[in-house]
Amino acid sequence: MGGLTSIVFTSGDWLTKTRPDDELYRLHEFPLALSATTAAQVIDDTAATYSGRWSTSYHSGASYDYTSHSSATAGASATFSFTGDLVAWVGTRNSTHGYARVSVDGGPAVLVHTYASTREPQQVLYKRSGLAPGTHTITITVTSQKDPAAPKTFQDVDAFIVGAS
């Protein structure tokens, strides 16, 4: 995104909710980017609100900030509010994944196919830009639809990219 970049190390992650099996003084590293503009920022999946049955994965090296949420329960949803005119849902394409319905601000839902024959983490699965400036909400809902080759209907949420397009 331009600007100066570095990594900040700390012995405490004071913004994240308590994680099971996490030690109080575990070393954490956070990327740091200094820029004159705030074109876009990555927000971890823990900032969303989840309804229905979701599982949380901690300490996953293939996920942003080492966390992700996943569900194969039709109707389970993830809701995330943000400020800006763009939003992107970051997750995984995989052989066990199906279709999700994604809507912004309660508008018409778009069907998003997240199946892939091999695992592809940290993919932009959905992106919407050109929203009116202000606060918006994206909702991701697990469906019972799947690819014929997929044995399940999983969806996962790894992160969101928000900001100005």
Write down the pTM of the prediction. 0.76
How many structural domains are present in the chain?
Answer: 2
Got the DSSP string for the chain? --SEEEEEEES---SSPP-TT--TT--EEEEEEE-SS--EEEEEGGGSEEESS-EEEES-TTSGGGEEEEE--TT-EEEEEEESSEEEEEEEEBTTBEEEEEEETT---EEEE-B-SS-EEEEEEEEEE-PPSSEEEEEEEEEEEE-TT-SS-BEEE-EEEEE--
Q: Are residues 24 and 62 in the same domain?
A: no
Per-residue model confidence (pLDDT) at position 1: 40
As a whole number, mean pLDDT of residues 79-101 equals: 96
89 shares a domain with 23? no
Average pLDDT, the chain: 87
Give the mean model confidence (pLDDT) for residues 51-75: 90
Inform me whether the pLDDT recorded for 53 exceeds 90: yes
Q: Look at 17-31, 44-58, 114-128, 136-150 and tell me which has the smallest mean pLDDT.
A: 17-31
Quote the pLDDT of residue 62: 83
Same-domain status, 95 and 156: yes
Residue 60 domain boundaries:
39-163
Does pLDDT of 135 surpass 90? yes
